[in-house]
Structure formats: structure tokens, C-alpha cells
Amino acid sequence: MLKDPVVSPPAAGVTGVAFGDNERLAAQKATRERPSPASPPAVRKAPVRYARKQYWNEPTMTWWEKAYLPEVLRGLAITTGIFLRNMGKWLTGRKGAVTTYYPEEKRVDFAPRNRGKHILTQRPDGSPQCIACNMCATVCPAKVIEIEAGFDPNDPAHPKYPVRFEIDYSRCVFCGMCVEACPEDAIRMQEDVPDLVSDNRYEMWMTMDEMLTWRPQQDVAKPYPPKPVPLTLGESVKRGRGQ
């Protein structure tokens, strides 16, 4: 009588696999777990050395200056000496450092290109030369100029005039763009320090009256015809009759 062949149970986790394939699965698993051959060692490249550029105005330092610390100590000694000298003058009642005690004192040696305070030029009759074109307010980078225009039908040459012209000095950057853009040379900047000392920024507005009356100026190179006088009804009738 023949005996039934011995059948081994299937491997754990393997379902639906023929019994004769166990050896093949074990070979495949061993192949997957086999370590890959070692990669060839990376070749280290030598660092690229850049040549430092030499500038034509590069200062030359002595070995004393290259030491750095002695120069730091020398700078501290100079600062301390000036501080003690000014402190001694202040304690003895003499004026110390070259400075001004603003706003009690104001400097008069302004730089040639100082842009300090705005003014509005006047016509011969005292009216502002501004024609309220808003060019200065348009080019102003800080948007600090506010102009309210009016209309005068009796002045055909310049019917527009400013009713209100104000500058907010709390935000003005004193760039002078308004002066450059004005087509009538109506706004200028004088060498001075504007009175900016205030604890309320809403009080730091310069009005049109202050700009007209503070150091009034006129453009003498620009002639203006006299402003025509409006005619009354009787005079217009006479002029119409040729009298």
C-alpha cells in the first residue's frame, strides 16, 4: 500500500502559493536582502581659490593699524578727551562744543544749498504769484501741500488764484521738488530753520499769509500787466459811445 507524500504547510504570510515554490520565494527574499555593492568613493575636488580684486583707492595699512586694537584705544582716547574738555568748559561757564542751543539760538552759517523755509512770491499788487495749478502738490513726494483754488472773472490773465495754500511741516522732507515744478516761480525756499518745535503736529502747518509776509519777495524779471478795473454800467455805456 502506497503512503501519501508528506506535505509541508505553507510559509507564514504566503497565501495561494504552491507548495513547491517555497525554495524559490526564499531565494528571492535573499536576493532582495543582499547588500548592494559599495559605491566608489567620491573624488574630492580642490577648493577654487579666487584672486582678491585690488581697487585703485584701496588704503594701505601699517602693521600698527592692522593690529586693530591700538586704533580702537586711540579712538576712545580722542572721544574721552573731547568729552572731558567740553565738560570742563561747561562747568566753568564757557561754551563747550561747537553747537547751537536750538531754538534759543539759530545758526546763520547755512550751507549754500540749504532748503529751509518756503515763501510765496508776490505780484506788484501784493497778491500771490501762484496760479493754483497744483503742480507743486502733484509732484510733492510726501503729499504735504494743500491748495484751494478760487476764480476771479475780473482778471482774464490769471483767473485762478489760491484761496488757501498750506504746507504740513511735520511731514515735509524739504526736497525742493515743489520749487522745481512751479511754472510761475511762485514758491521758493529760503535758507533758514523753520520753527518746528511743537508738541502738537496739527500746529505745524505753514499758512499762505505767513509764506507771503515772511521775507516777501517778488519776481522782478517777470512783468505783470495791471489788473483791469471792472467797469460800472455808466462807464461801459460811455465807452460804447466812444467817449
Q: In this predicted model, what pLDDT tens digit does every residue of 111-140 receive, in sequence order?
A: 878 888 999 999 888 889 999 999 999 999
How high is the pLDDT of residue 15? 47
pLDDT tens sequence across 88-111: 887 887 766 667 777 777 777 788
Contact 96, 84 (CB under 8 A): no
How high is the pLDDT of residue 230? 65
Taking Cα atoms as reference points, which of 67, 90, 70 lies closest to residue 78? Answer: 70
Taking Cα atoms as reference points, which of 163, 172, 181 lies closest to residue 205? Answer: 172
DSSP string, 38-83: PPPPPPPPPPPPPPPPPPTTPPP--HHHHT-HHHHHHHHHHHHHHH
- The CA R_g of the chain, rounded to the nearest whole Å, is 45
- Which stretches in the chain have pLDDT values below 50? 1-7, 10-17, 243
Taking Cα atoms as reference points, which of 116, 115, 114, 118 lies closest to residue 212? Answer: 118
Grid cell in block for residue 228: 483791469
Question: Which residue(s) pair with 168 in the sheet?
Answer: 205
Residue with cell string 504769484: 129
Quote the distance between the C-alpha of residue 114 and its chain's center. Answer: 19
What is the distance between the alpha carbons of residues 11 and 44, in angstroms, rounded to a whole number? Answer: 49
Report which residue type is found at 118: H
